[in-house]
Chain A
Amino acid sequence: MSHKIIVPIGPYHPLQEEPEYFQLYVDGEKVVDLDIIIGYNHRGIEKLSESKHFDQIPYLVERICGICSSSHPYAYCLAVENILGTEAMLVPERALYIRTIIDELQRIHSHLLWLGLAGHFIGYNTVWMWAWKYREPVLDCFEMVTGNRNNYAMFKVGGVRRDIKDEDIPILKKMLDDLIPAADLFRGAIMDDPVIKSRLKDVGLLTRQQAIDWCVVGPTARASGVNIDIRRDEPYGAIDRLDWKVILEKEGDIFCKTVVRILELYESISIIRQSLDKLPKNAPIDAEVKDIPGGEGIGRVEAPRGECFHYIKSDGTNRPIRHKIRSPSFMNVASDKVSAVGGTISDATLTLAAVDPCYCCTERVAVINKVDNRKVMNGWDLIKLCQEKTLKLKATLSES
């Protein structure tokens, strides 16, 4: 009989910087089963959001994650603008372009960050250091434009908070020009290296059907041949006026996930260049938004890791009464259950990292029942909880 042991990855592990817990059930080196346990870092953002007024929430939601710190406020702003009308109706032209520029800059820095980490995980620290070195000018540009390296504080309902100055545009363009050789370097170093190929090819396979079944989003889905991209399917900002394409790969292994992210770097660079050229001169950057009427709105943004979804319900006061967030990693991490099982431990650790997991946006609450030790709420419990809450809301709304 084979003897199964548990290899723990987490709650603290050099593989991932954030608290999470993967239990690998291994038979020798082979992973036969996987348990994913999250919830070590629940911060109650949704509840906090209900106690803040509409102008404060962008600052709160961009702290959900330091890496996608423009996607969350963007999705939130879209949701609020959805209550008022549409983004294109409300937001001035120049602000649309600035929003797109910030969003794509963030994608570049996030993909470079992942690329470096992926190099670190396969023990190729040179790629790690080099990727992060080339990421640094992107962050410098962020600092120049927004004042911060992360948590940009650029978004507000109805526009953006800061303008991109005309004298900054050549610096941004030069940074993009310098980034192309760096991207070429990584394309050459990773896509043509036989040793890297032997580590990544046919590892952590997620077929197209599995990707659909497990509802993965973003580059993880596109690497498996699922053709989804919110930027194309439901355009926001100025993205539909620009020329770019969705990167698609078929096989669904880690190599494809890497290729998708590297090629998306080029698309993002091209999008930013076009936006900088088309940026309307001397135009306003925000529209004044006074009152948010009662109603519901959703905002969807293609974050670097996939679809980021925000739902806002307003009752006409200056605070939302419900704010629901669904972040991409929450969908992607679950797919490890199919892609990591069957490989070796070395492959499993890579597979866990290949979806670009970001736990701080993934954390959910676990309810602990003191009588029978521990109970995590299942889907039905959560639905019941939601229904009760909706009933309560309806009651308060009908009173007022």
Chain B
Amino acid sequence: MKSIFYYLIFPGFIFSATIGLLAGWFDRKLTARLQWRMGPPWHQNFTDILKLLGKEVIVPQGTKLTFLLSPYLGLIAAVLVSTSLGRSIISPLESFGGDLIVIFYLLAIPAVALIIGASSSRNPLASVGVSREIKLLLAYELPLILSIITIVIKCKGALQIGQIIQQQMIFGSNVFSFSGALAFIVAIFCMQAKLGIGLFDIAEADQEIMGGTLIEYSGLPLAIFKLTKAVMLYTVPLFIIILFLGKDLGPIFLIAKYLMLLVIMTLIKNTNPRLRIDQVLRFFWRIPTILGVIAVILAIFGK
């Protein structure tokens, strides 16, 4: 019973989706204010989801099963991550050793789910979106792994989220060192690519391929994808906070750090145009990857 409560309500699905949707509203409101607009009311994202639930579900001919199941795959993976991260903050050593690796893999599942679902829709625009999503995944995974390795080395080989948090409680946040700061910058870029916003809003690219991967989705499955996005918007920054800013994780500090990351993301999003996919590949494999390698080397020498 207890674990059902953890997964479904707190800190799992309901809680993370609510926070994610509110964060999405915060992003929209801040964007609107930067663009001299009013912006939506706070409940706008909830209303959107509610409205989508009442809409007709249109399924393209062909592989119905994967098309309808893949949204749930993505959502389940995202909720698993948010639950285990949340539990790690509340009681650090409850989890098993090596959950960092599991979480890293689970974080890639929503993108994979999107790829499976979109490619089963057999839409040419969706297929372009899929190829972009795959390239994006290839681009940011390596630098993200490097920045995580930096943290693992800095925390004396700890592969458990709880251990990483405890290490930082004793020795201070990882970001306040040369290697940690470098890895943090890399992780911020990877975070944006993972969330597909701003510079890296390539797989959906409204003006180019009309929503790309999501083009054939409607009604409930679309709402599930939107919820997955919301959960990810809560989970990925939380993951970064735990890895890099893990010293004080009390509610007020946590909210402050989360808002800081959100503001950074929104500002980068609103002061840059979207990149082209080949530019993204070139960017990630040059700058963040090299920075990540430098961070790893620095971490080995204890900087």
Residues in A lying within 8 Å of B, measured CB to CB: 5-8, 13-15, 26, 28-29, 119-130, 133, 195-196, 198-199, 344-347, 349
Q: Which residues of the partner chain A approach B109 to less than 8 Å between Cβ atoms? A: none
Query: Counting CB contacts under 8 A, is B94 at the interface?
Result: no
Contact between B273 and A15, CB atoms less than 8 A apart: no
Query: Counting CB contacts under 8 A, is B259 at the interface?
Result: no
Contact between B131 and A8, CB atoms less than 8 A apart: no
**Interchain CA distance A123-B198 in the complex, whole Å:** 8
**Interchain CA distance A121-B128 in the complex, whole Å:** 17
Query: Counting CB contacts under 8 A, is B163 at the interface?
Result: no
CB distance from A24 to the nearest CB of B (A): 9
**Interchain CA distance A128-B32 in the complex, whole Å:** 12
Known: A123-B207, A126-B35. A199 touches B276 (CB 8 A): yes
Contact between A347 and B276, CB atoms less than 8 A apart: yes
Q: Which residues of the partner chain B approach A123 to less than 8 Å between Cβ atoms? A: 198, 201, 205, 207, 273-274
Known: A195-B199, A345-B128. A14 touches B207 (CB 8 A): yes
8 A Cβ contacts from B20-54 to A: 31, 34-37
Kindly list 18 other residue pairs between chains A and B, CB separation below 8 angstroms, not including A127-B273, A196-B273, A349-B207: A6-B124, A7-B124, A7-B125, A13-B210, A15-B207, A15-B208, A29-B132, A29-B277, A121-B207, A123-B207, A125-B31, A195-B199, A195-B272, A195-B273, A195-B275, A344-B276, A344-B278, A346-B205
Contact between B131 and A28, CB atoms less than 8 A apart: yes
CB distance from A219 to the nearest CB of B (A): 21
Convert B195-226 into 0s and 1s, putting 1 for each residue whose CB lies closer than 8 angstroms to a CB of A. Answer: 00011011001111110000000000000000
Q: Which residues of the partner chain A approach B272 to less than 8 Å between Cβ atoms? A: 124, 195
Contact between B208 and A346, CB atoms less than 8 A apart: yes
Contact between B273 and A124, CB atoms less than 8 A apart: yes
Contact between A125 and B35, CB atoms less than 8 A apart: yes
Q: Which residues of the partner chain A approach B34 to less than 8 Å between Cβ atoms? A: 126
Contact between B275 and A130, CB atoms less than 8 A apart: no
**Interchain CA distance A43-B249 in the complex, whole Å:** 65
Q: Which residues of the partner chain B approach A130 to less than 8 Å between Cβ atoms? A: 35-36
Q: Which residues of the partner chain A approach B277 to less than 8 Å between Cβ atoms? A: 29, 344, 346
Contact between B209 and A7, CB atoms less than 8 A apart: yes
Query: Counting CB contacts under 8 A, is B91 at the interface?
Result: no
Who on chain A is nearest to B274 by CB?
A: A123
Prevailing SS type, chain A contact patch: helix
Contact between B125 and A14, CB atoms less than 8 A apart: no
Q: Which residues of the partner chain A approach B35 to less than 8 Å between Cβ atoms? A: 125-126, 128-130
**Interchain CA distance A10-B125 in the complex, whole Å:** 12
Contact between B207 and A129, CB atoms less than 8 A apart: no
**Interchain CA distance A344-B208 in the complex, whole Å:** 10
Find B36's partner among A8, A124, A133, A196 (CB 8 Å cutoff): A133
Q: Which residues of the partner chain B approach A198 to less than 8 Å between Cβ atoms? A: 275, 279
Who on chain A is nearest to B200 by CB?
A: A123
Who on chain B is nearest to A195 by CB?
A: B272
Who on chain A is nearest to B202 by CB?
A: A346
**Interchain CA distance A198-B31 in the complex, whole Å:** 24
Contact between A14 and B274, CB atoms less than 8 A apart: no
Query: Counting CB contacts under 8 A, is B270 at the interface?
Result: yes
Query: Counting CB contacts under 8 A, is B3 at the interface?
Result: no
**Interchain CA distance A347-B279 in the complex, whole Å:** 12
- Nearest first, the 10 A-B pairs at minimum CB distance are A123-B274, A129-B35, A124-B273, A122-B273, A346-B276, A349-B208, A5-B124, A126-B270, A121-B207, A133-B36
Q: Which residues of the partner chain B approach A126 to less than 8 Å between Cβ atoms? A: 34-35, 270-271
Query: Counting CB contacts under 8 A, is B82 at the interface?
Result: no
Find A199's partner among B124, B131, B275 (CB 8 Å cutoff): B275
CB distance from B52 to the nearest CB of A (A): 19
CB distance from B126 to the nearest CB of A (A): 11
Query: Counting CB contacts under 8 A, is B127 at the interface?
Result: yes
Q: Which residues of the partner chain A approach B270 to less than 8 Å between Cβ atoms? A: 125-126
Q: Which residues of the partner chain A approach B37 to less than 8 Å between Cβ atoms? A: 129
**Interchain CA distance A151-B233 in the complex, whole Å:** 45
**Interchain CA distance A8-B275 in the complex, whole Å:** 21
Q: Which residues of the partner chain A approach B125 to less than 8 Å between Cβ atoms? A: 7-8
Q: Which residues of the partner chain A approach B209 to less than 8 Å between Cβ atoms? A: 7, 345
Q: Which residues of the partner chain B approach A15 to less than 8 Å between Cβ atoms? A: 207-208
CB distance from A110 to the nearest CB of B (A): 20
Who on chain A is nearest to B32 by CB?
A: A129
| Residue among B35, B201, B278 with most chain A CB within 10 A | B35
Q: Which residues of the partner chain A approach B205 to less than 8 Å between Cβ atoms? A: 123, 346
Contact between A26 and B128, CB atoms less than 8 A apart: yes
Contact between B127 and A5, CB atoms less than 8 A apart: yes
Find B206's partner among A5, A14, A119, A127 (CB 8 Å cutoff): A14
Q: Which residues of the partner chain B approach A199 to less than 8 Å between Cβ atoms? A: 273-276, 279
8 A Cβ contacts from B235-285 to A: 270-279
CB distance from B196 to the nearest CB of A (A): 12
Who on chain A is nearest to B37 by CB?
A: A129
Q: Which residues of the partner chain A approach B124 to less than 8 Å between Cβ atoms? A: 5-8
**Interchain CA distance A13-B125 in the complex, whole Å:** 12
Who on chain A is nearest to B206 by CB?
A: A14
CB distance from A78 to the nearest CB of B (A): 37
Q: Which residues of the partner chain B approach A349 to less than 8 Å between Cβ atoms? A: 207-208
Who on chain A is nearest to B279 by CB?
A: A198
Contact between B274 and A122, CB atoms less than 8 A apart: yes
Q: What are 13 A-B contacts defined by CB distance under 8 Å?
A: A29-B278, A122-B273, A123-B273, A124-B273, A128-B35, A130-B35, A195-B273, A196-B273, A199-B275, A344-B277, A345-B128, A345-B208, A345-B209
